[in-house]
Structure 1
Amino acid sequence: MSDAAQPTAAEVRAAAEAVKTALDRHLAAVERRTGEDDPAVYEAFNELAAAAEEYDELLYDRYDEVTPFEIPGTEDSLPPYTGPEEPNALSVLIRRDYAVVEPQRLLAQAQRIEAVEEDSGIERTASGTVHGALGLLFGEFEPDEIASRHKEFGLEEGDSTLWVTASDEPAEPGEWLEAPFEQADAQRIVCRFDVSAVFDEEADDDLEDDPELTTDLDDDEDLEPLDADR
């Protein structure tokens, strides 16, 4: 950052004072909390996280220094949990995205499935189209197996997410089949797990931005193997 764009010492000091104020508010909210998931505590936590992040950025820009603590960002945090403390049931919601990158490989796999079914007396002619081949594929294999073998089927993984949500009572048979994902409530999520290439890109950016994690090597320079005992 250029000198002209650097924050002033006064701005850094003001950001530090904002962190102190946010800490006091967070502690006061915790002391007055009315339950396990008090919205006031959640709000105070977000304010503290934002203030700490602002101070950390200004401190680094002005003095090339960082804080010794890290508060999780608020963008990826879940809203306050409002579900039952002792759930009697749960739902697991899964989304996995794929791109069909090798249609011929997909069609070939579908034809193999049809060939086996024909030997068993089952006749189907769905393998001639990508649409039909996908129906055969997902009818034959479990989703987890497709996820682990996606390259064999001509697919490329995209983003995926898994939500575990809590319920008071199990749903009645057939109750949600017409709209299975319509009633997903973010405030009843017990935990969630996300996979995305964007996370890898962010990690690569962090490595490029950190000069201590980069090494300049000549093209013909040899690297000595690491000593396993070290």
Structure 2
Amino acid sequence: MVDPVFALLVFAVLGTVAILVFWPRVGIAARLVHSERITERVLLEDALKHIFTCEGIGRICSVESLAGQVGTSTGKAAALLSRLAESELVSSEELGPRLTPAGRESALRLVRAHRLWERYLADRTGVPAGEWHARAEQMEHTLSEEDTDALASRLGHPAWDPHGDPIPTPGGELPEIDRLTLAGVEPGRTVEIMHLEDEPREIYDALLADGLGLGTRLDVVSRSDQIVQLNAGGRDR
């Protein structure tokens, strides 16, 4: 015969476990579903940004490039593109996915939040420059439009992020930038760094450690297909 006290104890334990697992909104199951939804949303938003970046530099976005960028399988990347197409944020074209007007608007909101947060980290905190990008990658998914506008106001509505990239306006306007790369500068010319790419981080950190940053003036000494020799502050680079 089962001990009534033992049976009652088992029932109480099972009931407690059930509450912890299945309680609406705060139970473990609810939290897992919520976490999964957040992860899916972040992946979709990262996919939008990747397509936006590819379009900006004239590169074709592929399933493989998207998978590499967001760190997932090609099957998952293809599913993300399908989801974006179903939401009418992306159109499928012969050369690859393209942002629709709605997709570009969503991507620009993410870019605006990202670059404003980098500006905040650069101007208002002591966070090392090499960490700005990674931290902004996280915050861009949590800032609402209202939060982003409030941040812009707090910072005085900056036009540029600390890497020299333009910050989209609230209306989604992004100016066209006409810049030269070092590979296109003839020897004998003096140029000023107006943009410093922050990825890969190892190269970015090395450039900063060598004293190269926005506003640094460089004398182009010589140039070949593989190497550009520079002089900055009396030092050859």
Larger Rg: 1
What TM-score comes out, normalization by structure 1 length? 0.18
Structure with the bigger RCO (C-alpha within 8 Å, sep 6+) is 1
Higher helix share: 2
Superposition TM-score, scaled by structure 2 size: 0.18
